[in-house]
Structure 1
């Protein structure tokens, strides 16, 4: 399940974070890549600093307060976020994310966009499956969430600079199909509650959701 989530950051937060990102020091992104990925990875990643930690904390808090992200990901833990920069000519070839990162199993990957898509040419995130490739180049403050089992790449940036924040989630619900069932159930519960308030149907739906989580959580 691929989910584009808007409103993770508002316009003022995006502007502040992007301004802060532009002042950071960066290093070759291949330093954090595996043996094969180093051959196809060409980007920059922000070096550790108090300023980067402030950005990471701000984004992590925003994610953990966003109802759609929480419903879709059911996060048990998250890796430390990475702030990436792609300048002209930089790219990241087709790859799949490592199964284990920072001691966590990676169930879901996400990219949070910080630039206006019109401010840089190229640089779309391309996700591939057996049927097609899908391109994502979202507005600033929007996020694409997708299974970490997905082959994906970043197209070369032809002009401008692409800033994004990437991270990985270990979910309470390991199975992607089960996460989708719970996500759909969350939406159904919200709709029933908005339409009729507390009711016998709402009680049954919330009971079902809780019991499914008990069965599936790990």
Structure 2
């Protein structure tokens, strides 16, 4: 239901941090004034936002692991956000649909990319509730966690230092999370064991993979 992935190189992390250090951040509620749970800041300046967003987007789409896990069809422009001491983001589920200049997308998966060292701030964990499980994430710079957008999640209050991350949302070709995870696991088996199978069995497995993709995917 969730996946931790290496996304950015050290150089890309450094570039994101350089952009963030020189750019203006504003109250995160500028994009959602009625969200009382939201207490953070987001990158505001147009040029740094476009520059960092494109860097982050390219890093995501070049990742084979990201593509394989998400079956991404559309990707919201990634945005850098920061949490200073005392800031947090209370429990919430992400909006089902996101209006964007290129058209509205559905949020099937949410993604947080961590950009600074875990020891640079206290608190600030991403807390995701999956059924009865409470999961806490505080990852290394350049690592990302993908998780279902319809789950309750929050950012624990930052008690010291500053938390810098980027967030984005993904519309998957396969909306149903059970089907998406089933097909992901089937594809992993094919990739890992295909060469060890009898050719006729591997061909049959590939047939099943493509039949399920053809039947379940909403769009090419």
Poorly superposed stretches of 4+, deviation over 4 Å: none
CA distance in 2, matches of 1:34, 1:73: 30
Provide the alpha-carbon RMSD of the alignment: 1.5
Question: What are the equivalent positions in structure 2 for 1:64-75 lying under 5 Å apart?
Answer: 64-75=61-72
CA distance in 1, matches of 2:155, 2:88: 6
Q: Residues 169 and 63 from structure 1, CA distance in 2 versus in 1: closer, same or farther, beyond 3 angstroms?
A: same
CA offsets 1:109-133 (integer angstroms, 9 cap, x no match): 0100001111111100001134131
The answer as to whether partners of 1:76 and 1:172 remain within 8 angstroms in 2 is yes
Count residues with an aligned counterpart: 214
Counterpart in the other structure of 2:140: 139
The answer as to whether partners of 1:127 and 1:152 remain within 8 angstroms in 2 is yes
Please, what TM-score do these two structures have when normalized by structure 2?
A: 0.92
- Segments of structure 1 that go 5 or more residues without pairing to the other structure are none
CA distance in 1, matches of 2:75, 2:203: 31
The answer as to whether partners of 1:71 and 1:182 remain within 8 angstroms in 2 is no
CA distance in 1, matches of 2:16, 2:179: 34
CA distance in 2, matches of 1:142, 1:165: 11
CA distance in 2, matches of 1:170, 1:71: 13
1:201 positional shift: 2.8
- Segments of structure 2 that go 5 or more residues without pairing to the other structure are none
The answer as to whether partners of 2:97 and 2:107 remain within 8 angstroms in 1 is yes
Q: Residues 77 and 34 from structure 1, CA distance in 2 versus in 1: closer, same or farther, beyond 3 angstroms?
A: farther
1:211 positional shift: 1.0
